[in-house]
Amino acid sequence: MAAERGCEVSFHGAVFRHWKGIRQTRAFSGPQWIAHLCPQKFYAKNGWHPFPSSHLALPAARNFQTGSAQISVPPTRPLYASDLAELCRIDERLVRNSMSCPPIGKKVRVALIPDVKTMAWHHAREEFLSKELRLRSPDIKGAIVGDKAGERAWIIWTRTWNDDPHNEPSKKNVLYVLRIVVEEGVYTVRANFRDHGETPENGCSPQLVNGAGYGKAVQYLASLLVAAQQEAARSFLAEVQAWNPTPTIVQAAKLACPSVDAIVDRDTDSIASLKWFGPGEALEEVEWIANEKYGWC
């Protein structure tokens, strides 16, 4: 199997290199998420560059009324499959806006589009698993907070069961945050807001002022994380994981769950990697926008 995988990786790179040569333009081969059975050195030898891969883990909430938060957070509403198409269209526009802003300290930006087809793939997987495991149908696909368009935040998740959910809770059973989005109108404080031109949950890493808009964003994100913790408990999952969280999300996680552990830096499992064919740019000069769980497939 390793040999077959190696041939696939080498062939994949060769095809993209040939295509790039014909088109005389930048190109990147689809990303890989390296598992512990396929070490980073193997992929690096075939031209795949590992990117920082970390996650934040919060325990499932046992108190369905307040989650693990000890403070008041805004109420959320559940998201269903029928809600996602419009929200994904908005998210795609926000990501494309982020891509259009000149990066600081980098030459190139890349991103995977968080479209509804991508979310549907993840949800089809969880629906199949829930049916096979005789669990309730996973109809709730996420949560949203805020009433006014342009001033909302939402989260989309998926469930993964790698151990029998009918036994004791296992950390192999996880509710993964596929995507978390904050619309620009949530941030009412604009001064010093941007250093890349977009909100952090839409793909950049600005230095935020600690003002009213920032505080509102943290409250909104905390409420979404609490909703995820609650859903994890209902679905017999041990924890919630958010991949490559922004500083704003980390702050919100501490508000939702003060006992949350530090960010986990992965170096042996699910390492996001990219093969780049740009004319002369080093991969260190490439910025990967919104490198989140939705891109894993």
In the chain, alpha helices (H): 2-23, 40-45, 81-100, 116-132, 212-234, 247-256
**In the predicted model, what is the mean pLDDT of residues 103-128?**
88
Tens of pLDDT, residues 177-230: 999 999 988 975 433 333 333 345 554 434 344 455 678 999 999 999 999 999
Is residue 56 within 8 Å of residue 250, measured between CB atoms? yes
Question: What is the residue extent of each domain of the chain?
Answer: 51-269+287-295
Tens of pLDDT, residues 132-184: 998 989 999 999 999 999 999 999 999 999 888 888 778 889 999 999 999 98
pLDDT above 60: residue 62: yes
Q: What is the 3-state secondary structure (H, E, C) of 2-18?
A: HHHHHHHHHHHHHHHHH
Reading the block at residue 74, the tokens are 């805004």
Cα gap 195→217, rounded to integer Å: 17
CATH architecture label of 51-269+287-295: 3-Layer(aba) Sandwich (3.40)
pLDDT above 60: residue 33: no
Between β-strands 153-160 and 142-145, what pairing exists: parallel, antiparallel or unpaired?
Answer: antiparallel
Measured from the Cβ of residue 206, the count of other Cβ atoms closer than 10 Å reads 19
**What backbone phi and psi angles, to 5 degrees, belong to 59?**
-70, 150
Could you tell me the CA-to-CA distances from 113 to 25, 144, 203 in Å, in that order?
20, 20, 11
**In the predicted model, what is the mean pLDDT of residues 89-117?**
85
Collapsing DSSP to helix, strand or coil, 193 comes out as coil
Is residue 121 within 8 Å of residue 156, measured between CB atoms? no
Tens of pLDDT, residues 132-146: 998 989 999 999 999
Q: What is the mean pLDDT of the chain?
A: 76
